[in-house]
Structure 1
Amino acid sequence: MSFSPYSMMFFFTMISGTILSVSSTSWILAWIGLELNLMSFIPIISSKTNLLSAEAALKYFLIQALGSAVIIFASTLLEATLNFSLLSISLALLLKMGAAPFHFWFPQVMEGMNWLHGTLLMTIQKMAPMFLISYLTANLFSWTSTSLAAACSALVGAIGGLNQTSLRKILAFSSINHMSWMLFSMLINETSWIIYFILYSLITSSITMLFFSFQAYYFSNIINPQCSSLPKTVSVLALFSLGGLPPFSGFIPKWFIIQEMIYCSFFYTLAILLFSSLITLYFYIRLALSCISLTHSQNKWIYSSISPVSQYKIIFYLLNLSGLLVPSFLFIL
């Protein structure tokens, strides 16, 4: 993504569409905000020189247009059939955010994007649909559809990441798995899922920016013996943090959600989430073992040549490792 005036303009209109959808008082305004967000995001990810990017933009446009059509159709039937309309809107929003069982487009679109565009897709583009779904959880049909989609997303996100060698697809299925945590926390209270979403966005952004600085799109780029030990170690620790392995930063939001679900007696759903998290940690650890076992024979720590690029990498390192300081703070308190 080049930082041209046109790209910055589309980026600000995309943010404006998200804010309009979140703060809207009617479904028509929410639909307008979603369309503004969509029509601003398509030019950002489109590229004339990259066929994969153009294909991803086309797939994303078709899926989002289908979801928007269902929303505008169901919003006109709210007075006649309330429950059916709210259920249709909930399913359309789940489709737009890529939650299972409507996840089929999400890994394919992620595969055709670079890391900067993928970061927007996994963070900002999920904000408006998730806020709109949180407004519908008071309805029984919407609550049921959200809970079923969350359970399905937990299993699909965990199993789909197995035997994947593309880092973009691994993060795509990991995003689907994290959506299950956010959807279940959304059924408890609004504050829990917002905290989880903020921390998830920070951790995901740190990992994608880390891979972007290394230009690593496949796991072979990290396993490569010519790669130094520091990028390998940091990448492995970042993946552990994303998987929620304690005591890294990624475990902190899951810790909050686990306490809330135990307090609300959601034991069976919590068991599904924990089981899916164990599967994600399994393929993270399996990839980590392959990565660490292949090391370069001349590893050196060079402190004399630290470029400005390396300086902002350090911030990303510390973000995923900041969870190690939490037990110290709790001990002091």
Structure 2
Amino acid sequence: MFLIPSHLLFFSTLVFGTMMAVSSSSWFTAWMGLELNLLSFIPLISSETNQFSSEASLKYFLTQALASAMILLASSAMMAGVMFSYFLLSIALLIKMGAAPFHMWFPMVAEGVGWMQFIILSTIQKVAPMALLSHTTDSSYWMILLVASTSAAVGAVGGINQLMLRKLMAYSSIGHTAWMLSAMLISESLWAVYFGIYCITSSTISLFFFYKQAYHLNHLISSNFQNTPQSCIMFMSLLSLGGLPPFTGFIPKWITIQELSSSSYLFLTFFLITGTLINLYYYLRLALGSFMMSSTMLGWQFLQENKVSWTVVLLIFLNLAGLLVSPVIFLTG
């Protein structure tokens, strides 16, 4: 995707817009950064080879434009001293990041984009809204608490009956958003650590599906996945994404659970752990499908060769580093 000069230009402006929004000193410049980010992501979604890209672009634009208008209204209300301004601002930022119950657009847009665009949608596009939302935690405490509990439930239940891999990963992203919002209630550094590890684990699975050109659950039981080492790699990466110990994805969840418990967020912790257990159920369904089903049942043909790049190998190494780090933390703790 980034070999095309226009895509490289739009990706650069997308990153610049994110940095502008995060480092801004006023809500107006933050709004400008979010708008630059939005207008840069629309061309990256559009693709002549994907018949659903136009629909996904329109849905994304309308949703983000609504949220941007709410940010402008909220910032104007702040200057006038209106009490509900922070409430409206928090709703707008939650819409932009796709947190439940404002999540309806997120799985639909994810279904209409490619895997590389999905990685941007589920990682980079969440940075600016979450960073800005962290400045409003004092005034929108109860809203973040409620949205985190709702996102954990929606992310868990929504992915159970999904057969399309991009929608399943979208609901997984909503579930992880609940953990990031919960970590935000504790400290910004904890949120940053969780978000960084989530980017690694989610990108590993998405890149793996990209190189295999897998978009449906049935693709995982095709002959292209009947490679035992690669199936093991996908299996362990999915377990890491689900937060099963002692993989890398478990470390930020472990720290978050400890901090939430010590801060008396027991009800929220219960929702998060329950949602994670349900997430692990459909992660295991993905992994076991590639192990146990015969390759002669379905004859899907893939567009690329049976290869995995060194980028995926590096991400997988980081994904499984928790196997070495977790015992050290346990022994020194």
Output aligned runs, 1:1-333, within 5 Å. Answer: 1-139=1-139, 142-225=140-223, 227-228=225-226, 229-295=228-294, 309-330=308-329, 333=332
**What residue is the counterpart of 1:304 in the other structure?**
none
1:67 positional shift: 0.2
Amino acid at match of 2:213: Q
| CA distance in structure 1 between the partners assigned to 2:137 and 2:177 by the alignment | 15
Which residue does the alignment assign to 2:303?
A: none
Cα distance in 1 for residues equivalent to 2:123 and 2:275: 21
AA partner of residue 207 (structure 2): M
Residue number in structure 1 paired with 2:300: none
CA deviations on 1:196-215 (whole Å, 9 max, x unpaired) are 00110111111111111111
Q: How many residue pairs get matched?
A: 323
The verdict on how the C-alpha distance between 1:321 and 1:295 changes in structure 2, with shifts beyond 3 A counting, is farther
Q: Partner letter of residue 157 of structure 1?
A: G
- Say if 1:125 and 1:226 are closer, same or farther in 2 by CA, change over 3 A: closer
Paired letter, 2:214: A
What displacement does 1:327 show? 3.5
Partner amino acid, structure 2, of 1:163: N
**Does the 8 A contact of 2:45 with 2:57 survive in 1?**
yes
Measure, in 2, the Cα distance between the counterparts of 1:205 and 1:253: 16
Q: 1:332 to 1:254 in 2, by over 3 A?
A: closer
Runs of 4+ in 1 over 3 A off after TM superposition: 307-313, 330-333
Identity within the alignment, %: 48
SS of the residue 2:321 aligns to = helix
The CA distance in 2 between the partners of 1:83 and 1:185, in whole Å, is 26
* Farther off after superposition, 286-295 or 42-51: 286-295
Question: How many Å separate the matches in 1 of 2:43 and 2:94?
Answer: 23
1:256-304 CA distance string (max 9 Å, x none): 101111121111110110011111112222333333212559xxxxxxx
Residue 105 of structure 2 aligns with an amino acid whose one-letter code is: W
Q: Note closer, same or farther for the CA distance 1:332–1:188 as it changes in structure 2 (3 Å cut).
A: closer
Question: Match of 2:238, as an amino acid?
Answer: L
Shift of 1:178: 0.3
Cα pair distance change 1:210/1:49, threshold 3 Å: closer
Give the whole-Å Cα distance in 2 for the aligned partners of 1:225 and 1:232.
12
Deviation at 1:188, TM superposition (A): 1.1
Residue 223 of structure 1 contacts residue 232 of structure 1 at CA under 8 Å; is this kept in 2? Answer: no
**Is the CA contact 2:10–2:44 (under 8 Å) kept in the aligned structure 1?**
yes
Greater shift in the superposed pair: 17-26 or 309-318: 309-318
Shift of 1:225: 4.5
